[in-house]
Amino acid sequence: MDADENLMDAEERMDQAVQHLASELSGLRSGRASPALVDKLHVTAYGTATPLSQLAQIGCPEPRQIMIKPYDPSIIKDIERAILASDLGLNPNSDGKVLRLNLPPLSEERRKQLAKVVKDNGEKAHISVRNVRRDANKHADTALKDKALTEDDCERLKKSIQELTKSHETKITELVDRKIKDLMEV
């Protein structure tokens, strides 16, 4: 693997770690309603498990309410069952055509628990990025040993890898801080 391939591979893997963190954090409930809370929920409809986002239109008409409007009103009971069976802890209100999920305000204790979960997820993402850096540096050392890179090129590559690591760690920290700020707002 040459220097450019090594750097591109490291960047791609670091981007994946940041994207994974962002998707994990979007699924965590903060003080406001978000369609991401129920987006990935799987509903058994028509004999198969399907993501809710493919079966219904999901929106937030109010800050503490999620509205789910199925494309086919006959599956509203299936959606209701899936929500009740999930670990969301929400009770859907149905009028036959639309489901409404009212989100109660989070207690201070629950906010602190969620902030801890956010920090743990952030730390896991930091570890992933650092592992990618370690692997990329090993590839650079191997290329140096195999005489595919000069010492100067190897040092430049390692410097680029470190800059890439710092930029991705900054993105992770920003995501975590933003989510914690959202959680702590009343």
Domain ranges in the chain with CATH number 1.10.132.20 = 3-26+107-184
Q: Give kind and range of the element (H or E) at residue 67.
A: strand 65-70
Give the count of beta carbons closer than 10 Å to the beta carbon of residue 135: 15
pLDDT per residue as tens digits for the range 128-160: 999 999 999 999 999 999 988 899 999 999 999
User: Model confidence at 185, in pLDDT bands (50, 70, 90)?
Assistant: confident
pLDDT at residue 170 tops 80: yes
pLDDT at residue 31 tops 70: no
User: Model confidence at 21, in pLDDT bands (50, 70, 90)?
Assistant: very high
Predicted pLDDT of residue 34: 79
Give the count of beta carbons closer than 10 Å to the beta carbon of residue 39: 15
Quick one: CATH architecture of 36-102? Answer: 2-Layer Sandwich (3.30)
What integer best gives the mean pLDDT of the chain? Answer: 88
User: Model confidence at 8, in pLDDT bands (50, 70, 90)?
Assistant: very high
d(CA 79, CA 70): 8
> What is the pTM assigned to this prediction?
0.73
d(CA 166, CA 14): 11
Higher pLDDT, 183 or 140: 140
d(CA 96, CA 117): 36
Give 140-144 contacts, CB < 8 A, sequence gap 24+: 140/3, 140/6, 143/1, 143/2, 143/3, 143/6
What is the distance of C-alpha 133 from the center of its chain?
21
Tell which residue, 139, 136, 123, has the closest CA to residue 165.
136
**Fold for domain 3-26+107-184?**
Topoisomerase I; Chain A, domain 4 (1.10.132)
Domain ranges in the chain with CATH number 3.30.1360.40 = 36-102
